[in-house]
Every structure is written in structure tokens, then in C-alpha cells.
Amino acid sequence: MKHENGIIESGAIHHSLGYWSSLIARTMEAEFNKRLSCYEVTRVSWAVLGAVTYDGKSTPSELADFLKLDRAAITRLLDKLVSQGLIARNRKDSDRRSVTLQVTPKGKALSAELLQLSNSVNEKFASGLGPKEAEQYIATVRKMLANGDKVVGTL
């Protein structure tokens, strides 16, 4: 049976949005991890570094919300990035608990390299898609995520 939204209801996994979403995510992650292997950075560490560098996230709390990670995970990731000299933590004199994050020159250089690496993975998987198709894909995924947030919020 086909629903009004075009989804075919059957037992076949190949008709599942979840299956295809998971497959593309895992396949792209594997490709990116393979390309990252010569750097001492994980995919999630790159997400943190990129969020500080390119998305203007400057506190651990902002990072946790933006990346949908818990604060303990963010703290561990930041500890590693600080020890690698990629990010600096700055504490305010007025409130030692308040931390702002800053990308170091070494972190900026690595961010530029990793951004190119990330873009090359995206380009590989988006080859054959026109700009409108890529925009529509992102819009569709955002809509689906918003639907999921509504459901999760009601549990």
C-alpha cells in the first residue's frame, strides 16, 4: 500500500526511509573516516573544530546544543583538541566557570585542510545531482528531522 506521502508500506527494508538514511550516513562516514586516517582527528573532533571555526560556536554549551552531543562528550572532545593545540579555552576573570573557545593558528590551518577534505566527500556523493536536487535533499532532511523533534518532544 502506498501512503499519500509516497512511502510504500511493506516489509521490504528497501522501502524504508530509515534504511536509506542510515545507509547514506554510514557510507559517507566510512569514506570520510578513511580520508581522515592520516590526521590525528576523529570525525566528531572535526565537527567540534569546524563548529568553532566556521559556525562561530564559542562555548561548550553552544557546541553541545549545535552538535546534539551531551556536555560530558563535548568536554572530552575539547580536552583532546586543547591537548593537540587546536583549540584554546579562555576563562573569564569575573567567572572562572565561564569558558570561551578560540581556534589556534594550528587549528585554523587544520580546519582549512579538513574543510577541503569534507567538501570532497560531499562532492563525491553529490556528483550527478544538480544544485536544486542537493538543496531539495537538505530541505527534505531538515523537514524530517523537525518531524522527529516533534515526536521526541512528546514522549
| 62-79 per-position pLDDT tens digit | 999 999 999 999 999 999
Mean of the per-residue pLDDT values of the chain:
88
Using DSSP's 3-state secondary structure scheme, residue 118 falls into helix
1 confidence band (pLDDT: 50, 70, 90)? very low
Lookup: cell for 26: 554510514
Lookup: cell for 46: 572535526
Lowest mean pLDDT among 14-18, 47-51, 82-86, 90-94: 90-94
Q: What is the DSSP letter of 2?
A: B
Fold classified for 13-150: Arc Repressor Mutant, subunit A (1.10.10)
Domain ranges of the chain: 13-150
Tell me the C-alpha distance between 70 and 18, whole Å: 23
Name the helix (H) or strand (E) containing 87.
Answer: strand 87-91
151 confidence band (pLDDT: 50, 70, 90)? low
Burial class (CB in 10 A: 0-12, 13-18, 19+), 117: middle
